[in-house]
Structure 1
């Protein structure tokens, strides 16, 4: 069954080796990159799990870009159609950020914006985000963000679905928000916010299928079948590893198709909607 990976990145050396990921390296056994990772390695990892499209994101933080939009565009160009770009921006410079988002979407063909709140230690309700939300609506692209606790060595407060995602969805009902990393330990809150708001979705990145919280599995099997998207968080977790125990979740064929690809195709306007 074809797959769309809604949350992944092709790392640069400065991204992969950043000190904040020390906890992830400890958990996963990943080694530091000694040289740039060829995009062919990422393409092969996606192909091994039948991932037809991986949404490869830029990473921008207070110290500058860890993976720039132009670097992502280069990775996309070298991926033989396997990757699509997700923009990053400098949140501290809102006018420049809006211009860069427009460039990424209109000139580079990117399909979304991603901001990781813990990287900035600013919740999604901070005023610096709001011009970007309006720009996302105008450009017709989703806003992707992280919810739940923070694996890297940064505070977790910014990942609370309530009040932050709930308030953003109230202020911008036309904005599509894709919330990565499930929201644990606030998974029930995340489900409640996705239920409440038509344009709020959940992606499962950073978790293998065996580790999905029971409440998320129940939601996915039932009323949430059109609200949950697959994500891996590659290279921290490969898509193959993330999906290894998918068959144990008891999903029917329609739900499996929606989860693996259909919902992402619809939400990110990738074509072949389900």
Structure 2
């Protein structure tokens, strides 16, 4: 198990992108090349992305704990998902550094609910990642509420992508991705209707940053992670709130492998965060939320 005292930080947002078994689906290379262009990251352009085991090795060397998850968006993208079970099993083999989350496409309904309960009880996952734009759904539609109810019942965390996404950026029609689904105000309804469900809103939520801050400040069960952006580009109001009203609800996240912790942490050193807030963001808030 992770010993948080030995870590310098906990990265709440890393991706399992490279399938450990089988070949990539048709179109997946183009999709990853588009992501690499968006983030100016050679990974995905020049070959295979890091495996979950390689991710563990990278983070262990840096003494950074990592929440890692795949994204199940089979309905919208047609790409077969990376097995939640595979990710969880590799995490179990690297439990000193990796923290398993999972992803279940909310359109899977009752089958998804059964999978959520099984992953919680048999594989020890800590939470579930949702990507409203990539999965093509409004988070506050009532048909998806049984999914959240299952996660709440199991005492796990729901992590929602918010704001613009690099997924499909620059591709024809944005690869069919609709940004509207990731407006954080939809998360406000979920947080109100499931007050015991711990929710993380991922990323600075451009162009809805103030909406995200309002939801986080207003709902005790909502947190914000800072993944997907270099800290040198953070909006001034985000830094202002992180330094004050929501300082115990802001979490370090890199968005690995799109952005490396090395790059993120280097830029964080020069960002205008208060000295007393930095350890909260880097580790203490995540440690309390994850109960580790």
In the TM superposition, residue 43 of structure 1 has moved relative to its aligned partner by: 2.3
Change (3 A) 1:222 1:48: farther
TM-score (norm 1): 0.90
User: What does the per-residue CA deviation read over 1:10-56, in whole Å, with 9 as the maximum and x for residues that have no partner?
Assistant: 322448945444432212243347457444431233235431x2111
Q: 2:210 aligns with which of 183, 188, 192?
A: 188
Contact 1:22 1:152 in 2 (8 A): no
Correspondence 1:201 to 2:223: yes
In the TM superposition, residue 255 of structure 1 has moved relative to its aligned partner by: 1.4
User: What does the per-residue CA deviation read over 1:57-79, in whole Å, with 9 as the maximum and x for residues that have no partner?
Assistant: 12211136422211212321343
In the TM superposition, residue 104 of structure 1 has moved relative to its aligned partner by: 1.1
In the TM superposition, residue 158 of structure 1 has moved relative to its aligned partner by: 0.8
User: What does the per-residue CA deviation read over 1:127-175, in whole Å, with 9 as the maximum and x for residues that have no partner?
Assistant: 342111111111111110100112212221011112x011111221221
Contact 2:32 2:45 in 1 (8 A): no
Question: Which whole-Å CA distance do the structure 1 matches of 2:49 and 2:188 have between them?
Answer: 39
Matches within 5 A, 1:1-274: 2-13=8-19, 14=24, 17=28, 19-27=30-38, 28-30=40-42, 31-32=44-45, 34=47, 37-51=50-64, 53-61=65-73, 62=75, 63=78, 65-79=80-94, 81-153=96-168, 154-162=177-185, 164-269=186-291, 271=292
Contact 1:137 1:174 in 2 (8 A): yes
Question: Which whole-Å CA distance do the structure 1 matches of 2:279 and 2:191 have between them?
Answer: 27
Unaligned 5+ residue runs, structure 1? none
Question: Which whole-Å CA distance do the structure 2 matches of 1:142 and 1:267 have between them?
Answer: 9
* RMSD, matched Cα: 2.2
Contact 1:112 1:268 in 2 (8 A): no
Secondary structure, aligned partner of 1:99 = helix
Question: Which whole-Å CA distance do the structure 2 matches of 1:18 and 1:155 have between them?
Answer: 21
Change (3 A) 1:265 1:191: same
Change (3 A) 1:21 1:152: farther
Contact 2:128 2:158 in 1 (8 A): yes
Question: Which whole-Å CA distance do the structure 1 matches of 2:49 and 2:271 have between them?
Answer: 37
In the TM superposition, residue 180 of structure 1 has moved relative to its aligned partner by: 0.4
Contact 1:73 1:108 in 2 (8 A): yes
